[in-house]
Structure formats: C-alpha cells, structure tokens
Amino acid sequence: MEEINTVAQLKFASQHLFNLICFIGILYYFLRKPVSVFFVNRSKNIEESINTAKNIIDEAQQKYDENSMKINQLDNEATSINKSSENIVESKIDDINNNANSMVSMIEKDTEEIIKLESNKIDSQIRSAMIQKAIKISENDLKQKLTDEKDEELIISYLAEVKKDVISNS
C-alpha cells in the first residue's frame, strides 16, 4: 500500500514537474524577449540617469568652483575695501587733527591779540580817566586862583594874538 502511494506520489510529482517545466518553457518562450527588452531599457534608463546625475554633479561642481572663485574675489575686494577705508579714515583723522591743531594755534594767536588790544584799551582808558581827573583838578584850581586882573591879562594877551593873526592873514 505504501509502495502504491509512493509510486502514485512520484507519478503525481513527475506530472506536476513536467507541467512546471512546460509552464516555465512557455513562460521563457513568451517572456524572454519582453523581459530582456525591459531589462535593456531599464539598464539604459539607469545609465542615462547615471549620466544625467554625473552631468548635474559636474555642472554643480563647475558652479561651485565658479562661486568659490567669486567668493574669493569678493573676499579680496572686501579686504582691499577694508584696507582703503582704513587708509581713508586714517588720513581723515590726520586731516582733522591737523585742522584742530591749526585752529588751536589760530585761537591762541587771536586770544593773545585780543588780550593785547584789551590791555591797550584799558591802559588808554585809565590814562584818559587820569587826564580827565587832572584837567578837572586844574579847572577847579584855576577857577579858585583866577582873579579879575589875571583874567584881564589873559584877555589882553589873547586879543594881541588875534590881532597878530588877523594882520598876518590880511
């Protein structure tokens, strides 16, 4: 019984194996071309994609290089601008210092001159006040000391002066 089952099982298995082989053969027959075409196409696509990616990578590298160069240039320019601005600032500071120094010396000179003028003015004011005072004292003194006789003498001598003057002019 067991032998009949084994034979039957083997027979069944061989039938199924045969069917499987036939099925695989049919599959191979029908699917060989489309599958190979599919895989060829697939490999082509992958290759194209790889090439495109390479190109993109190359372009990106190129752009990166260009940008790097530009950044370097910008860095250089920024450095030179910094340097020139530093120079300008330094020269401006020098100019301002020089101007301030010349202004200070001018103010010093002006101040000295003003002090001189003011001291001269005060001197002359003091002199004038002293003269005025002396004249006032002289006036009071003369008023007290001048008698009618002395006044007449003054008038006579002045009239003589006027006479001389009038005669010489005529």
- Each residue 99-138 as x (binds another protein by CB under 8 A) or -, in order, gives ----------------------------x---xx--x--x
- Each residue 33-72 as x (binds another protein by CB under 8 A) or -, in order, gives ----------------------------------------
Indicate whether 23 belongs to the interface with another protein (CB under 8 A). Answer: no
Indicate whether 146 belongs to the interface with another protein (CB under 8 A). Answer: yes
CA pair distance 44, 126, nearest whole angstrom: 118
Indicate whether 160 belongs to the interface with another protein (CB under 8 A). Answer: yes
CA pair distance 129, 44, nearest whole angstrom: 121
Indicate whether 3 belongs to the interface with another protein (CB under 8 A). Answer: no
Total binding residues toward another protein, as defined by CB under 8 A: 23
CA pair distance 131, 138, nearest whole angstrom: 10
Question: 16 vs 136, which CB is nearer to another protein?
Answer: 136
* CA 36 to centroid of chain Cα atoms: 70
- DSSP per-residue codes, 57-87: HHHHHHHHHHHHHHHHHHHHHHHHHHHHHHH
Half-sphere exposure of residue 116: CA atoms within 13 angstroms, side-chain side:
6
* Chain residues that interact with another protein, rule: CB under 8 A: 127, 131-132, 135, 138-139, 142-143, 146, 148, 150-152, 154-156, 158-163, 166
